[in-house]
Amino acid sequence: MLSLLIGTLITLLVGRAIFKGYSATGVLLGGGLLLLAITALMGRPILPAKVASTGYLATDIFEYVRFLLNDRGGGLGMLIMVLCGFAGYMGHIGANDILVKLASRPLRIIRSPYLLLVAAYLVACAMSLAVSSATGLGVLLMATLFPLMVNMGISRGAAAAVCASPAAIILAPTSGDVVMAAQAANMELLDFAFRLTLPISLLAIACMAVTHFFWQRYLDRRAGERNEPVAPSELKTTAPAFYAILPFTPIIGVLIFDGKWGPQLDIVTIIVICMVLVCLLELLRLRSGRLLLDGLQVCWRHMADAFAGVVMLLVGAGVFAQGLMTIGFIDTLLAQAQNFGSGAMIMMLALVVITTLAAFTTGSGNAPFYAFVELIPSLATSLGINPAYLVIPMLQASNLGRTVSPVSGVVVACSGMANLSPFEVVKRTSLPVAVGLLVVILATQIMVPL
């Protein structure tokens, strides 16, 4: 029981520090090192079986950090960095802008305000396949779909909520979160992303779209809101229209090079091929090798930012998770959960609640997910269940929780551009997010084998 108390206390301190604005990476790393130090003082082993001990518990603490730096910075970390570099370059060359610009045009023919709202939400969700950043996507939608919706009679609050919520449910099979979740579930990326996660995501999106229709209309009528027409704005970009397909090329590549239609290639290899293709197109468009190479610096900078922001977050989260495991927190938590009877469902719900609350308080979808996803393989093994049963709801809960956080980047950005309070946007997204989370939990219970 002492292990549970220590783990809970340090977890609460870590959560409070992140909520206060401290670096999630540093806080998780510090909390993990503290847990490992306490474990060493208790005389318990620190390193997992696959890592050789240095012979001393004190130095084993730092040996585990070295192991994670090699492990996370190599395979998974490199994949995340390459994905972020590609996404950043898509924004630089205008491919993301032209994609949103073209997608918003058909919406102008819809005359019913709340049908337009639902259509705009579905289009925005499709955009999340190409624009992986929730905040970046929200800003793009505020610049294009927001004026269109307001001009059609939708309230500013409802329009801002639609722009803030499409990334609440993960669709993109090549996003870093999905890759990490597939690894934790011990499944091939295609099977995990398309066979399990995608059907649940589509069902949740459909239910959230319907909820948006009735919830936004109800809030508008209750408040008696009227909006003043705003002239639709057009994104200014020099990118040709066919560039709209470029952000989707990694997804197309994953489908083609799966070993059936073509050779089976690693995702990093596929993205390198996509980058070369994009560079050739840019060279033809710019007719300048210097401009092309200067533009590629954006890709490298985004890769560096991904290492600092995501890969190091993975390292910190890994140290924290190892600390919770070695001190006995997880074993005690498992024993308590199993005392309730259905250990698997209790543990799944516990992870969903913890992840949602952490995402709400921190405003980040990545930090809580990366902090707890490390625990999934050992939890699943201990319970004797399919790890995907635990990881899929947790994956979606981290993004859903961020969407109702008044301190998240996407809510702050959308509310600021709409001249609204973040709490107004959160009120508007709260019920759709609650419905989405409930659908994810029920769909996982039905569709994911235990």
- 423 confidence band (pLDDT: 50, 70, 90): confident
Q: Is pLDDT of 217 > 70?
A: yes
432 within 8 A of 165, measured Cβ to Cβ: yes
Where residue 225 falls among pLDDT bands split at 50, 70, 90?
low
In terms of C-beta density within 10 A (0-12 exposed, 13-18 middle, 19 or more buried), how is residue 112 classed? Answer: exposed
In a domain, 11, yes or no: no
Name the pLDDT band for 234 (thresholds 50, 70, 90). Answer: low
Is 251 within the bounds of a domain? Answer: yes
CB 371 within 8 A of CB 358: yes
pLDDT of residue 218: 92
HSE-CB for 116 with a 13 A CA cutoff: 23
In tens, the pLDDT along 114-127 reads: 888 898 899 888 87
Q: What is the DSSP letter of 215?
A: H
* Cβ pair 301, 88 in contact under 8 A: yes
Least confident of 35-49, 313-327, 330-344, 418-432: 330-344
Tell me whether residue 48 is in a domain. no
With pLDDT > 70 as the criterion, what percentage of the chain qualifies?
Answer: 90
- Confidence (pLDDT) at 292: 92
Q: Give the pair of three-digit tokens for residue 205.
A: 């999106």
The 10 Å Cβ neighbour count of residue 224 is: 6
Rounded Cα–Cα distance for residues 436 and 165 (Å): 11
Question: Per-residue pLDDT averaged across 182-205, rounded?
Answer: 88
- Judge whether 283 lies within some domain: yes
Counting the structural domains of the chain, the total is 1
| pLDDT tens column, 131-169 | 667 777 787 777 667 877 776 778 889 999 999 998 888
Helix axes 329-338, 343-362, angle to 10 degrees: 130
* C-alpha–C-alpha distance, residues 395 and 183, integer Å: 12
The pLDDT score that the predictor gives to residue 336 is 64
Residue 82 pLDDT > 80: yes
pLDDT(230) > 80: no
User: What mean pLDDT is predicted for residues 322-351?
Assistant: 72
pLDDT of 435 = 96
Mean pLDDT of 212-223: 91
Please write the tens of the pLDDT for every residue from 298-324: 999 988 988 887 788 778 877 887 888
Q: What is the pLDDT of residues 250-264, one digit of tens each?
A: 878 877 887 777 788
Domain around 202: 70-311+321-447
Determine, yes or no, domain membership for 254: yes
Q: Which of 444, 439, 435 is nearest to 387 (CA)?
A: 444
Contact 253, 262 (CB under 8 A): no
pLDDT value of residue 212: 94
Instruction: For residue 204, give the nearest of 215, 214, 216, 212 by alpha carbon.
Output: 212
Where would I find the beta strands (DSSP E) of 190-262? none
More confident residue, 242 or 107: 242
Task: Identify the pLDDT of residue 335.
Answer: 64
Residue 226 — pLDDT band, cuts 50, 70, 90? low
Q: Are 310 and 84 in contact (CB under 8 A)?
A: yes
Rounded average pLDDT over 411-424: 83
Residue that wins the pLDDT comparison between 337 and 277:
277
Confidence of residue 337 (pLDDT cuts 50, 70, 90): low
Collapse the DSSP code of 121 into the 3-class scheme (helix H, G, I; strand E, B; otherwise coil) and give the result.
helix
Round the average pLDDT of the chain to a whole number and report it: 82
> With bands split at pLDDT 50, 70 and 90, how would you rate the model's confidence at 11?
confident
- 9/327 Cα distance (integer angstroms): 13
- In this predicted structure, the answer to whether residue 340 has a pLDDT above a threshold of 60 is no
The dihedrals phi and psi of 107, each to the nearest 5 degrees, come to -65, -20
pLDDT of residue 229: 43
Lowest mean pLDDT among 83-92, 234-243, 282-291, 347-356: 234-243
* Residue 414 contacts residue 425 (beta carbons within 8 Å): yes
Return all residues near 397 (Cβ < 8 A) that are at least 6 apart.
351, 352, 355, 356, 359, 437, 440
Most confident of the following: 5-9, 286-290, 334-338, 364-368:
286-290
pLDDT above 80 (res 333): no
Rg (CA), the chain: 23
Residue 337 lies in a domain: yes
Tokens of 223: 């408040």
Q: How far apart are CA 318 and CA 297, in angstroms?
A: 30
Q: What is the DSSP letter of 168?
A: G
Give the separation between CA 197 and CA 158, rounded to whole angstroms.
Answer: 28
Count CA atoms within 13 Å of residue 375 on its CB side: 28
Closest to 33 measured CA to CA, from 374, 309, 332, 318: 318
Please state, in angstroms and as integers, the Cα–Cα distance from residue 382 to each residue in 157, 332, 334, 347, 356, following that order.
46, 12, 8, 11, 23
User: 21-29: long-range contacts at Cβ-Cβ below 8 A with a sequence spacing of 24 or more?
Assistant: 24/313, 24/316, 24/362, 24/364, 24/367, 25/309, 25/312, 25/313, 25/315, 25/316, 26/316, 27/316, 28/313, 28/316, 28/317, 28/319, 28/320, 28/367, 28/371, 29/65, 29/315, 29/316, 29/319, 29/320
Q: Is residue 200's pLDDT more than 90? A: yes
Burial annotation 257-276 (CB, 10 A radius, 16+ → b, else e): beeeeeeebebeebbeebbe
- Matching residue, tokens 């979808």: 365
**Choice between 132 and 431, residue whose per-residue pLDDT is larger:** 431
- Interacting residues of 399 by C-beta distance below 8 A, sequence separation 6+: 134, 167, 168, 169, 170, 177, 359, 365
Note whether residue 46 is domain-resident. no
Taking residues 339-346, report their average pLDDT: 65
- Give the list of residues 6+ apart from residue 108 with CB closer than 8 angstroms, or none: 148, 232
pLDDT at 232: 47
In a domain, 186, yes or no: yes
Assign 231 a pLDDT band (cuts: 50, 70, 90). Answer: very low
Angular region, 269: left φ>0, alpha ψ -120 to 50, beta rest: alpha
pLDDT at 397: 92
Backbone angles phi, psi at 290, to 5 degrees: -65, -45
